[in-house]
Structures are given as structure tokens and as C-alpha cells.
A and B are shown apart, each in its own frame.
Chain A
């Protein structure tokens, strides 16, 4: 079964701006995909369709299906449970007064109670290295900690698919390293929209390039990202770790990226 199947999806914002233009994409279970492209290319808009936040009014099917479920008003609760969506600005996502309550928000909304919520929260905090952070307020955390709390809040819902919008944009190099390691340990289907091309090389075996609301390239990460002409044409660049790659395989020479 496909984890995600998008067929001929187009979308216009209410003000008339065209954001997606006939997008088709299919993702296998446990695949990790890097979604790249310049600002305004439609990456975030596409991600918002994956768990049915857009379009605001769905009539029937939207052309998106997740693990065989078509995204429509009836399947929304199940879809939102299956897909964990991480937003770009942690302040938008951490809306509860304490870390514990925030991580517990998802499980509670999905109708769990008492010990089930507690154990889900504890497990999520432990997996994200946030043990003992439960009583802290979000506004007393650093950027990296906020981002990990957001991730914990999603993991607590035990999703099968993680959809991440610019997860490293607000992080310092250490925060980026830690987040990359954390994501690498998680087994789930992952879709990562980002400008951080090194992260894509590190985590994703497949890359999808978007520009102007369309998918313009889709293929193995190293192959696409080494294609300097393609990268520059779509406002990207050949990442540094691919500058020194094996002449025949194109794969990076350093052992931990091989």
C-alpha cells in the first residue's frame, strides 16, 4: 500500500494566487523524501494538503490519499492521527501553558485519557531527549528545545507518517545535528520540506524538486542534487558535501554520508 498518493492536485488560495498546479506524487511506506524548491514554490501548501488542513472546504475527495484513505471530511480524524505535521515556527505549534500539556494535547484530542495519555507523553519526551521538561513553559525554552517539544507533541500521537515543514530553519548547527540524528532514529514515512540540502542528503534517499507550484524533478537525492544545472535553474545549489564526490557513483566521499 502506498503511504501517500497525490493525483493531479491543483490549488488556488482564496485570493486567487495559484499555489499548486497539477501535482502528482506517490510515496512508499517508510520512505524518506526531501521536498525542495525556492520560496513560494508550493512546498508548504502541498504539505497542508497531506492531512487535510487545506483545502478549507473539501467536497468529496481532494485527490490525496494516505495509506489508502482518501482525504475527505469523514476520514479527517483518522488521517490527522496517521499524519504528524510539524510546522515551521515552533511558537505556532506550542500553544499550551506547559510542555507536558502541549505534548498531551494530541492524545487527548484523539480521545485517550488518564494513564494512556501519561505514558504516551512520557515516551515522547524520552524519545526526544526532553525528560524532566514537563513542567516548563514554552516561552522559557531555547529554539532547539522548542522544536523538539513540537516533535514530541507529534510523536505522542504515534503517527505513521511525519510531515515536516522547514524543521531546521530556526536551529543552530548543534540543534540541526541533534534533530537530524533524532529523525534518523525514527521509523516512519517522512516527508521533509526544507532549504537545508545537507539534511536532505543525510536523511532522504529520494528528492522532489518543486517550482512554481509544479513538481519539476523527482529522483534519487544524490543524482538530483549533483545536477548543478537543475539546482541553479530552480533557485537551489549543489550542496557542499556533494562537491567532493566519487567520480563514478557521485556519492559523497566522507564515510558517514555514504
Chain B
């Protein structure tokens, strides 16, 4: 059961956690926007948002090691995009700027997710006038992400308990069938969820 791999610390109690969700969401979006707008020429300016973020992290009592691990987890994506700049003449500086910008933005979002329960964020969206259908989709996605991960984990475990050799091709084939199964099961589950929603008056 790893149902907290996304936002393990979102239910801690700290001054940051106690702030209203709307304030945190607004600040986080503002911060990301600021980070994006800083011109790539002045790299030292990035130390300002970095200090703000580090201070917030310290006050929120989220273990720094956890935050670093989370950022490193997403870093390959960031690197992939940033690395394209290296092909341009004089791209080294832009590469550095893009790398710093995206890492800081990532840091902001990971902090937000781990200081604010997801349902509190949804409530902010709702009062901000985001269409209800969109919120329902987000809520369902968040709810069933964990169910899906659990299911995938059970299937992978069952598969490895019956895998006796490490033959590459065969391993790939069985991975593919796990993915297919997962897809089929999700679509069946979606049907059952829809029935359960209908049964309680969903229109």
C-alpha cells in the first residue's frame, strides 16, 4: 500500500499547513509565474525564490530528504526539455536558466501538494468558479490513482512470483500483458463507478 506516494506530508500540522488553501494556491501560482518571468540573463536572482521556498519547507517540517527525492524523481523530464537548448549556439546559459526555472517551479508545486490536502485545493477551485465537471474529473482522478497503483502493484507482485528466468523478451511480453489487464480492469471499474454514481442520483 503506497497510497501516499504523492502527498505523504499533506496532513502534517505546521504554520504553513494551517494557512488557508486559497492563500497557498494563490502564492504558489504567483511564485511560479515570477520564476518563469525572471530573465535568463541574471542567474543570481533565482536565489531569491529559492530562499523563500527553502524557508517555507523548513517551517512546514517536511523532511528535506523527501523533497529532494521527489524533485529528483521528476528531474529527468525537466532535463530532457532543457537539454534541447544545448544544441543552440550559446545555449549553455539558456540550458542553465531553464533547468533552474523548472526545478524551482517543481519545488513550489511539490511543496504545495505536501502542505495542502487535495480536497482542500478542489474546494478552492470550486469557489473560484472552475466548472463542476472539471472538478469532478480531477477528484475522480485523484481518488482512483491510488486504487490503480495498488492494483498494478498486486499484479506485478503476482507476476514476479511466477517469473523464473530473466529472459528479456518474455519479461517485456508479460509486462505488456500486465498493462493490458490494468487497462481492461480500469475500464470495467469505470463502468461500476458510473453505476454507483447513477444509483445515488447522478445525472
- Complex Cα distance, B117 from A101, in Å, reads 14
List B contacts of A98 (CB < 8 A).
119
List A contacts of B195 (CB < 8 A).
48, 53, 87, 92
Contact flag A97-B200 (CB < 8 Å), given A48-B195, A140-B3: no
Q: Is B198 engaged at the interface, CB distance under 8 Å to the other chain?
A: yes
CB-CB nearest in chain A for B189: A92
Question: Are A95 and B197 closer than 8 Å at their CB atoms?
Answer: yes
List A contacts of B119 (CB < 8 A).
97-98, 101, 137
List A contacts of B183 (CB < 8 A).
none
CB-CB nearest in chain A for B122: A97
Q: Which of A22-30, A103-111, A185-193 contacts B (4 or more CB under 8 A)?
A: A103-111
Question: Are B201 and A97 closer than 8 Å at their CB atoms?
Answer: no
Question: Are A85 and B143 closer than 8 Å at their CB atoms?
Answer: no
List A contacts of B144 (CB < 8 A).
95
Max chain B CB contacts within 10 Å: which of A81, A93, A95? A95
Question: Are B199 and A80 closer than 8 Å at their CB atoms?
Answer: yes
Contact flag A110-B198 (CB < 8 Å), given A89-B192, A95-B193, A98-B119: no
Q: What does the 1/0 interface line of A80-92 toward B look like (CB < 8 Å)? A: 1101110101011
Question: Are B199 and A139 closer than 8 Å at their CB atoms?
Answer: no
Question: Are B139 and A97 closer than 8 Å at their CB atoms?
Answer: yes
Question: Are A53 and B193 closer than 8 Å at their CB atoms?
Answer: no
CB-CB nearest in chain B for A98: B119
Q: Is B142 engaged at the interface, CB distance under 8 Å to the other chain?
A: yes
List A contacts of B189 (CB < 8 A).
91-92
Contact flag A139-B202 (CB < 8 Å), given A87-B195, A95-B197, A97-B119: no
List B contacts of A77 (CB < 8 A).
201, 203
CB-CB nearest in chain B for A81: B201
Q: What does the 1/0 interface line of B162-197 toward A look like (CB < 8 Å)? A: 000000000000000000000000000100110111
- Report the minimal beta-carbon distance from A159 to chain B, rounded to whole angstroms: 10
Contact flag A87-B196 (CB < 8 Å), given A96-B143, A97-B139, A139-B3: yes
**B residues apposed to A, CB below 8 Å:** 3, 117-119, 122, 139-140, 142-144, 146-147, 189, 192-193, 195-203
* 6 nearest A-B pairs in the assembled complex, by CB-CB distance: A109-B201, A97-B119, A106-B200, A92-B192, A85-B199, A93-B196
A-B contact pairs, 28 of them (CB 8 A): A51-B199, A80-B198, A80-B199, A80-B200, A80-B201, A81-B201, A83-B199, A84-B199, A87-B192, A87-B196, A87-B199, A92-B189, A93-B193, A93-B196, A94-B143, A95-B193, A95-B196, A96-B139, A96-B143, A97-B122, A101-B119, A106-B201, A109-B200, A109-B201, A138-B143, A139-B3, A139-B146, A154-B200
**A residues apposed to B, CB below 8 Å:** 48, 51, 53, 77, 80-81, 83-85, 87, 89, 91-98, 101, 105-106, 109-110, 137-140, 153-154, 157
Given contact pairs A77-B201, A95-B193, A97-B139, a sample of 15 additional A-B residue pairs in the complex whose CB atoms are under 8 Å apart: A80-B199, A84-B199, A85-B196, A87-B195, A91-B189, A96-B143, A97-B118, A97-B122, A97-B143, A105-B200, A109-B201, A110-B201, A138-B143, A154-B200, A157-B200
